[in-house]
């Protein structure tokens, strides 16, 4: 009954990406799966951390204004151009790949982009049903990563590429977080705004940077999904770019599942954060520096929690420092730095 209700809801109302509807759907699914297995109230108790994270994220937009922190508009552009020898990657990709209408492969772009809104909760739901100990480890990582990112959004509000393309230097000279140029028609900024036009574009395609993460939904014939995503994007923090929470979350999922999945999942697991990184840059959602900082944050959180968990396990079992069970799954193919150092010890 739950699966039929979700399918009907998705067909009639579109893909659920708004936080409230998504959590309701997942919670009801877990309650249905828990009948006869667990106390149903445990779903609400265990999933409250996700609701708190999403609530805090939604109010982070006002926190930056409250602290009076100026929004970064130029630093990310300078960093990307330094990394790529004077070329801005989003401008280069859209100039070479963007077409007048969404090609077939932009359906994959839209699917990868929207997976961020679903993947961490789907992974958490599967872990909760299979092993609450592993679920707890993942949830702690996700919550800590999200709150660190939220602090970054408040302390260093930063504009994404699509916003920089719509605003001129004069319009954002004072570092505003919500200038009027964010709501102007794409391409209306003289000379392509802060990003510039960046050379010749494909014939027929708009010669400016566009936010195109949702064009693939029209190719799939699901316009209601695109309209819902556009509406959701307009209501969230538009200057929450550093670090990229899309990149950080997908990298965290890959790092957490890496030693826990069978080998056939290793390549898709490795490809997921890489694909997300390409999608974010190509669709003008993030600069490359945002993604690198997101990956760095995911790595720091993963290493920190792994160290803390191993230390706690040694204390409980009175194990020597070099002992402990090795990783399985993909870690047998590419070991973690910790396991690599252990293997080299005499």
Paired tokens of 8: 């009907």
Helix/strand/coil for 195:
coil
pLDDT in tens, 290-339: 999 999 999 999 999 998 888 777 766 664 444 334 445 676 655 554 44
Q: pLDDT category, 261, cuts 50, 70, 90? A: confident
Q: What is residue 25's predicted lDDT score, i.e. its pLDDT?
A: 80
Q: What is residue 37's predicted lDDT score, i.e. its pLDDT?
A: 72
pLDDT in tens, 201-242: 788 788 888 888 888 777 666 555 555 555 555 545 577 789
The Cα–Cα gap between 19 and 202 comes to: 37
pLDDT in tens, 263-279: 888 899 999 999 999 99
- Do residues 313 and 324 lie in contact, with contact meaning Cβ atoms separated by under 8 Å? yes
Paired tokens of 44: 């609400």
Q: What is residue 45's predicted lDDT score, i.e. its pLDDT?
A: 77
Picking from 299, 103, 61, 66, the residue whose alpha carbon sits closest to that of residue 216 is: 103
- Do residues 241 and 76 lie in contact, with contact meaning Cβ atoms separated by under 8 Å? yes
- Do residues 85 and 188 lie in contact, with contact meaning Cβ atoms separated by under 8 Å? no
DSSP β-bridge partners for residue 281: none
The Cα–Cα gap between 202 and 240 comes to: 30
Paired tokens of 60: 């982070």
Span 22-28, average pLDDT: 78
Q: What is residue 329's predicted lDDT score, i.e. its pLDDT?
A: 66
Place of tokens 């630093």: 75
Q: What is residue 326's predicted lDDT score, i.e. its pLDDT?
A: 43
Picking from 144, 131, 146, the residue whose alpha carbon sits closest to that of residue 260 is: 131
Q: Is the pLDDT at 9 greater than 70, yes or no?
A: yes
pTM: 0.82
The Cα–Cα gap between 118 and 272 comes to: 14
Supply angle C-alpha 196, 197, 200, rounded to 5.
155
Task: Domain ranges for the chain, please list them.
Answer: 2-320
Give long-range contacts, CB 8 A cutoff, 24+ apart: 291-294. Answer: 291/244, 291/247, 293/242, 293/243, 293/244, 294/149, 294/243, 294/244, 294/245, 294/246, 294/247, 294/248, 294/251
Q: Is the pLDDT at 13 greater than 90, yes or no?
A: no
Q: What are phi and psi of 115, to 5 degrees?
A: -60, -25
């Amino acid at each position: 009954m739950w699966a039929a209700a979700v399918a009907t809801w998705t067909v009639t109302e579109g893909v659920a990406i708004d936080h409230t509807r998504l959590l309701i759907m997942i919670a009801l699914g877990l309650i249905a799966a828990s009948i006869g297995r667990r106390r149903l109230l445990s779903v609400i108790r265990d999933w409250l951390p996700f609701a708190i994270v999403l609530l805090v994220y939604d109010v982070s937009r006002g926190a930056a204004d409250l602290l009076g922190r100026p929004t970064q508009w130029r630093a990310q552009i300078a960093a990307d151009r330094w990394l790529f020898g004077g070329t801005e990657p989003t401008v280069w990709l859209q100039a070479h790949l963007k077409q007048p209408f969404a090609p077939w492969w932009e359906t994959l772009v839209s699917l990868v982009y929207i997976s961020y809104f679903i993947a961490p909760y789907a992974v958490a739901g599967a872990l909760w049903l299979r092993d609450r100990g592993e679920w707890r480890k993942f949830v702690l990582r996700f919550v800590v990563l999200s709150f660190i990112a939220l602090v970054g959004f408040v302390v260093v509000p930063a504009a994404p590429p699509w916003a920089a393309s719509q605003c001129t230097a004069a319009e954002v000279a004072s570092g505003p977080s919500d200038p009027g140029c964010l709501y102007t028609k794409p391409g209306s900024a003289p000379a392509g705004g802060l990003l510039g036009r960046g050379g010749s574009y494909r014939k027929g395609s708009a010669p400016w940077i566009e936010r195109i993460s949702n064009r693939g939904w029209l190719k799939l014939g699901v316009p209601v999904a695109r309209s819902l995503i556009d509406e959701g994007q307009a209501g969230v923090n538009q200057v929450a770019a550093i670090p990229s929470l899309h990149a950080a979350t997908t990298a965290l999922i890959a790092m957490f599942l890496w030693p826990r999945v069978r080998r056939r999942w290793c390549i898709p697991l490795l490809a997921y954060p890489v694909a997300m990184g390409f999608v974010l840059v190509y669709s003008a959602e993030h600069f490359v520096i945002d993604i690198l900082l997101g990956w760095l944050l995911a790595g720091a959180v993963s290493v920190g929690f792994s160290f803390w968990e191993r230390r706690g396990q040694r204390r409980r079992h009175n194990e020597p420092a070099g002992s402990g069970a090795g990783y399985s799954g993909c870690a047998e193919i590419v070991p973690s730095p910790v396991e690599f150092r252990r293997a080299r010890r005499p």
